[in-house]
Amino acid sequence: MDTLLLISSTLLPIITIFILYHFFTQKSSIPGHYGWPLIGESIDYFKKLRSGTNEQFAMQRRKLFGDVFGTSILGEKMAFLCGPEGNKFLFSNENKLVEVWWPSSVESIIKKSNNKSVTAESAKVRQLLPPFLRAHAVKNYIADMDSELRQHLEDYWTGRDQVEVCPFVAKYTFALAVKLLLGVRDATELEKLAVPFVEAAGGIIAVPINIPGTRFNRGVKASKRIREVINGIIAQRRKDLADGTADPSQNLLSHMIVEVDKRNQDTSNAPTTDGDMSSDLLGLLIGGYDTINTTVVFIMMMLVDYPDVYREVLKGKANLTLSLALSRKT
């Protein structure tokens, strides 16, 4: 009993000071509401996000505070800019009046070596992407996308009376991304990445409290396991490139290894390690996962709601199948 009183009498003042500190330091010139310390308005935001009404979070505060308002989500203060003027300001002033920024949850999960900033490194990664995003390059992916989708439908959709679309689409988009970005086709390697990936992605949208048992802590641990797997893939790919059994242009990972090795020959630059590359690739996987998955799911929902559009898509599918068959013959 005495021990309990001693602990409570010691912790209570510390907790009180901590709460008061956050309340009094959350003053801002931007009108808005910042909610509770650390938690902020995260609960309200994610509650609306899960119900599919996340636009209400912004609209309710826009009515109260105007087109520009402040809030706090995932332990980070931020400003919302609403309307076309706000969008124009953001997208026309990148690296001028505004710059890319990542919350601390991202910095913790997508770690860089030597305390490198994820924001600073992301610009270098973007320089490597154009060769794989041009129209002629994307055409080369169509056959792989088609075969992967056919196999996915055979494995998870055929013979089922009902299908829960979202998780199955997530399996497809993740497997496709890993194959196109990393060149991984082995089912065992894919499973090693897929199992911890969901937890790592979930940790990014969790309150960044890194103590055992929290969602954020599980995300940090999962990201470490993913980077270990990718580091092994990088080491093997480097050997394959040296042996001539891999082509530098066949996927992003091969291209990245070649370009990074060239860059590292310049001693005036800080070297990019394999750990940096694995973090970059993890960031690309996480960054594209939810957006692509959500887009595909919403497209399928719309096709269900509009049968006439669905029939037209089926006609297009027949034409695409014919085009792929002809391209394979040639």
Average pLDDT of each block of 10 consecutive residues along the chain (330 residues)?
Answer: 42 42 54 81 84 84 91 84 87 82 77 57 65 72 82 85 84 86 84 88 81 90 92 92 84 85 77 84 81 83 85 70 48
Distance of CA 26 to CAs 19, 246, 251, 261, Å? 11, 53, 46, 45
Give the model's pLDDT for residue 236: 92
Give the model's pLDDT for residue 330: 46
Neighbouring residues of 40: CB distance < 8 A, sequence distance ≥ 6: 34, 71, 72, 73, 74, 75, 76, 77
Give the model's pLDDT for residue 33: 83
SS3 132: helix
Q: What is the DSSP string of 215-243?
A: HHHHHHHHHHHHHHHHHHHHHHHHHHHHH
The rounded distance, in Å, linking the Cα atoms of 173 and 165 is 12
Sketch out the chain's domains with CATH numbers.
Answer: 2-99 (no CATH), 113-329 (1.10.630.10)
Give the model's pLDDT for residue 8: 41
Give the model's pLDDT for residue 11: 43
Q: What is the pTM of this model?
A: 0.71
Give the model's pLDDT for residue 13: 43
Q: Which residue has the tokens 């988009």?
A: 173
The rounded distance, in Å, linking the Cα atoms of 214 and 108 is 14
DSSP state letter for 249: T
| 211: its two tokens | 């103590």
Q: Are strands 76-81 and 68-73 parallel, antiparallel or unpaired?
A: antiparallel
35: alpha, beta or left? (left if phi > 0; alpha if psi -120 to 50): left
Element (H, E) at 78: strand 76-81
Give the model's pLDDT for residue 321: 53
The dihedral through the CA atoms of 141, 143, 146, 147 has a sign that is negative
Give the model's pLDDT for residue 112: 59
CB 184 within 8 A of CB 233: yes
Phi, psi of 125 (to 5 degrees): -65, -40
